[in-house]
Every structure is written in C-alpha cells, then in structure tokens.
C-alpha cells in the first residue's frame, strides 16, 4: 500500500494543480532554510568580528571569510535535522490543498471534505511541532550514549518517522472522519503509518532532495488514508 500510494503520487506530479502546490511548497521550504542560514551566518560573523587575535600568530582578518564558507557546509548538515520541523510546518499549510487535488483526481466519487477551522489547524500544528522538537531534544541524549551512538541515524529515522507519520495521517484523516475517527484509524493502522513515516523521514536526511518530500508526503498519506478506509469516506 505504501509504495503504491507513493507511485500514484509521483504519477500526479504532471497535474498542473498539483505541480503548482509542489513548486510553492518547495519555494517556501527553501526560503525558510535560506532565512535560517542567513541568521546563523550573521551570528557567526558577529561572534568572530572583523578580526581575531590568535596565539603565536597575532591578528588575522581572514577568519571571518573562513567562518562564512564553512558555515554553508555546516548548514547543509544541519538541514538534515532542520527539515523535520520544516516538514511538520509545511504540511499544515498545504495538506488540505494537496489532499483535495489528490481526491479530485483519484476519488471523485467522495463528498466534499470538511475543512478544519483555522484556529484548530494552528493549534494542531503547534502541538505537533512542540512534540517533534521536544522528542528530538530528548533523543540527543540517547545519541550520546556510547552503546547507542552507532544506531543514532536509525533512532532518528524511527523517532521522526513515528511522529511525522502520526501528524500527516491525522491531518489527512481528520478532513473526512473528524478528530476521534482519525485517532481510531491511527491506532488500528499504527504499523503501516509508522513505516510510511519512516520511509518519509529517510529522504528528509538528504540535502536538496528533502525539499520535495513534505508535499509528496502529504499526497502519499492522503492515498494511505483512503487505502485503509477502502476509499469509501
């Protein structure tokens, strides 16, 4: 089901309406990464200053440039972790439009979905984002435990796969069956949702590739929702 859902998502990339949302999502995701990078770079350059005195060498003025160039590569690495909360924020903005595009093409027999009130959507986004950030902060301590360090990447994928899967599926389902119905379905199909979320978290670890994942993930989880309900609601 997971791979067929993703395949159907890729098959819709040529759809003009879907492509518009995809490109908009990529643009906003990239803009957020650039903004964070610019703020990070400014902080490093402000910390170093115009010149720095090093022991035995004296005053150097090129350290600022070195910090600037090296920070780019550091931010590429940090984007691996940054893209997880970014993916969480992006889906709340675009899932309804993505889901509607998917349903109009693949499930046209269904009645119109119920729109989630803006206040509730913002509340859900903040709650999911807070849980995501809090869980990853706790996970940092696990990564430092010597016996677990070799498995850090797998822990990262598994943890964020669980959380992202829970969020994406809930937001896709709540449009059709309400909050309690979404929770019930999530509990019944937690294994499928976790695996799908983990398969989504893995490419989020790849710089540049991760820019397209939030929107494709939203479409894929819409298909997964309809897959577990038989496309009947």
pLDDT digit string, tens, across residues 67-90: 555 656 666 676 777 778 878 877
Q: What is the rounded (10 degree) CA torsion for 146, 147, 150, 153?
A: -90
Q: Are 214 and 29 in contact (CB under 8 A)?
A: yes
Nearest-angstrom CA–CA distance, 173 and 181: 8
Ramachandran category for residue 54: left, alpha or beta (phi over 0 → left; psi -120 to 50 → alpha): beta
Measure the CA angle with vertex 98, ends 153 and 127; round to 5°: 55
Domains of the chain by residue range: 2-229
Nearest-angstrom CA–CA distance, 149 and 155: 9
Nearest-angstrom CA–CA distance, 7 and 218: 13
Say yes or no to pLDDT of 223 above 90. Answer: yes
Measure the CA angle with vertex 136, ends 36 and 165; round to 5°: 95
Counting every residue, how long is the chain? 233
Please report the pLDDT score of residue 92 as a whole number. Answer: 75
Alpha helices in 49-151 (DSSP H): 63-106, 118-143
Angle between helices 190-201 and 152-188 (to 10 degrees): 140
Say yes or no to pLDDT of 57 above 50. Answer: no
The residues that bridge with 59 in the sheet, in sequence order, are: 53
The residues that bridge with 53 in the sheet, in sequence order, are: 59
pLDDT in tens, 162-211: 999 999 999 999 999 988 999 999 999 999 999 999 999 999 888 778 88
pLDDT in tens, 121-174: 778 888 888 888 889 888 888 888 888 888 988 999 999 999 999 999 999 999
Q: Which run of H or of E encompasses 37? A: helix 16-48
DSSP label at residue 232: -
Q: What percent of the chain has pLDDT over 70?
A: 82
Closest alpha carbon to 129 in 86, 169, 170:
86
Say yes or no to pLDDT of 37 above 50. Answer: yes
Q: Are 175 and 99 in contact (CB under 8 A)?
A: yes
Nearest-angstrom CA–CA distance, 231 and 224: 10
Distances (CA, A) of 227 to 1, 169, 220: 7, 12, 10
């Amino acid at each position: 089901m997971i791979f067929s859902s993703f395949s159907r998502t890729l098959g819709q990339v040529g759809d003009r309406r879907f492509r518009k949302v995809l490109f908009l999502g990529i643009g906003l995701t990239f803009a957020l990464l650039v903004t964070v990078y610019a703020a990070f770079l400014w902080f490093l350059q402000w910390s170093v200053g115009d010149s720095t005195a090093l022991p035995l060498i004296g005053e150097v003025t090129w350290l600022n440039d070195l910090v600037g160039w090296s920070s780019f590569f550091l931010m590429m690495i940090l984007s691996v972790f940054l893209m997880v909360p970014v993916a969480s924020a992006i889906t709340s903005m675009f899932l309804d439009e993505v889901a509607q595009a998917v349903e109009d093409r693949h499930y046209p027999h269904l009645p119109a979905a119920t729109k989630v009130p803006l206040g509730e959507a913002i509340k859900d986004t903040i709650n999911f984002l807070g849980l995501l950030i809090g869980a990853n902060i706790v996970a940092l301590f696990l990564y430092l435990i010597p016996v677990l360090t070799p498995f850090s990447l797998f822990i990262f994928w598994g943890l964020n796969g669980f959380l992202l899967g829970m969020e994406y599926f809930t937001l896709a389902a709540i449009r059709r069956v309400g909050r309690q119905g979404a929770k019930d379905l999530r509990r019944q199909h937690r294994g499928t949702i976790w695996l799908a979320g983990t398969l989504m978290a893995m490419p989020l670890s790849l710089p540049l590739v991760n820019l397209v994942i939030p929107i494709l993930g939203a479409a894929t989880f819409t298909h997964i929702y309809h897959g577990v309900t038989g496309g009947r609601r």
